Amino acid sequence: MDSETHNMQTKQQLEDIKQVVSDVLHMAKTQGATQAEASMSKVQGIAVSARMQEVENIEFTNDGGLGISVYVGKHKGSASTSDLSKAALALTVQKAIEIAKHTEEDDCNGLADEALMATHIPDCDLYHPIALDTEQGLALALAAEAAALDYDAKITNSDGASYNANIGCRVYGNSHGLIAGFPSTRYNLSCVVLSQSDDDMQRDYAYSVSRLSDHITDPASIGKEAAYNAISRLDAHKISTGKFPVVFDRQVAASLFGHLVGAISGGSLFRKSSFLLDSIGTQILPEWLSIDERPHVKQALASSPFDNEGARTQDMQIVSGGILQHYLLTSYSARKMGLTSNGHAGGIHNMYISSNTPDQATLLKQMGTGLLVTELMGQGVNGVTGDYSRGAAGFWVENGVIQYPVHEITIAGNLKDMLMNITAIAADIETRGSIQSGSVLISEMQIAGN
């Protein structure tokens, strides 16, 4: 199928979905809803995997679903369906109305304010469709795994390689009159292998994800990276307990800022379950550090012209000079706090953490002796107090040079202190998620080893 035909079909599919959303909103109004909102998605995709150079799994998906929330006064009811027949849609609306009539009244219920709606829908260039070809997908997965298995005799087994491609549309509409949507694509290739040295076995992986299929890292490089990562973990040591500087590798650094996102999100704040209550205008990070959100970056994985409530997304400087400028609010949390939503229903959209160091090698030299963390385990984070304690693995560093892998350790601190004690961030930005950060150096944490 040529691109022009594909684009025409996609345009028609978007119009069809918009009509369904419009129809259910009309049903809700005629059944007594004072306000209503609905979202619908349709996704086609393939998922293929191979293990030890044999095909393990082939899946085709053609999924769709609709969710609706209705408001009867200040009572809210929600329902969803994957059956998109007219009868099923009518029943879904009916159930949402019935649920609303039995829920508690809440003055903060309702759509996001009409003035916040996304009246202009910028093109974020998220749609780059290709033919969903399982043979091509399997060839990529097999090539990645083959490169890993051939890398070194220490690669003795595989947990497989997989390729996923998804092409879809999303439409949101509400009774303010907004009905908007856009198509998007996402492609992913990954490989997981096991290494062995005597009785020691280690597992590691590599992956690539993009809106464009031809921007996926080539399979040989993914396989080699997975193999290198797995081998580098062999013959790990334990280390002594003490306080040391810690570098969070870029692949785990995003989790550090993920805790910050949770702490400044409206849901945590109005429930008084955040370690950053009443922090607007206060110093929460070093003066040199800023955090920006850019929702409309073309082809980025977390770009979106509007949030899950139809509120427009916009560029924001969340932290400037280390000082918190904005909370991340939905319409409900904003009303609870006497504030205004700023387009964060559904999460953040491309959060960029500033850097002050060229690369991780420079960061390790700056650290001198300490721990490079490449893996975190467990859920030992208290969002209310900020207390942080997680299992970790990585590498011991002396004089800025990696000496050996380490495992079975725990790193601990308090997130307030950890954030303020960030002394450097490298420019080796991790781009495969909604939070984009380089490796992070924290001046001191408690490490529990032997």
Residues 331-349 have a mean pLDDT of: 96
Residues 125-131 have a mean pLDDT of: 95
pLDDT at 182: 95
Structure-block tokens of residue 381: 């984070």
Contact between residue 434 and residue 349 where contact means Cβ atoms under 8 Å apart: yes
Neighbours of 202 (CB within 10 A): 21
Contact between residue 345 and residue 330 where contact means Cβ atoms under 8 Å apart: yes
Q: Tell me: the pLDDT tens digits for 221-237?
A: 999 999 999 999 999 99
Fold designation for 3-232: PmbA/TldD fold (3.30.2290)
pLDDT at 2: 56
Q: Tell me: the pLDDT tens digits for 63-87?
A: 999 999 999 999 999 999 999 999 9
* pTM of the predicted protein model: 0.93
C-alpha 203/C-alpha 193 separation (Å) is: 6
Q: Tell me: the pLDDT tens digits for 283-326?
A: 999 999 999 999 999 999 999 999 999 999 999 999 999 999 99
pLDDT at 406: 96
Angstrom distances, CA of residue 166 to CA of 48, 123, 140, 281: 12, 19, 16, 42
Taking alpha carbons only, the member of 185, 244, 271, 285 closest to residue 370 is 244
Question: Scanning the structure block, which residue is given the tokens 């799994």?
Answer: 57
* DSSP run (H or E) holding 40: strand 35-51
C-alpha 329/C-alpha 113 separation (Å) is: 13
Burial class (CB in 10 A: 0-12, 13-18, 19+), 12: exposed
Q: Tell me: the pLDDT tens digits for 382-418?
A: 999 999 999 999 999 999 999 999 999 999 999 999 9
Taking alpha carbons only, the member of 239, 241, 258, 207 closest to residue 404 is 239
Contact between residue 354 and residue 307 where contact means Cβ atoms under 8 Å apart: no
Residue boundaries of the structural domains of the chain: 3-232, 242-448
Residues 335-345 have a mean pLDDT of: 96
pLDDT at 264: 98
pLDDT at 60: 95
Kindly report which listed range (11-15, 159-163, 369-373, 398-402) carries the lowest average pLDDT score: 11-15
Read off the pLDDT band of 1 (50, 70, 90).
Answer: low
Residue environment code for 347-360, b if the CB has 16+ CB neighbours within 10 A, otherwise e: ebbbbbbbbbbeeb
Taking alpha carbons only, the member of 157, 241, 197, 168 closest to residue 13 is 168
The answer, yes or no, to whether residue 190 has pLDDT greater than 60, is yes
The answer, yes or no, to whether residue 170 has pLDDT greater than 60, is yes
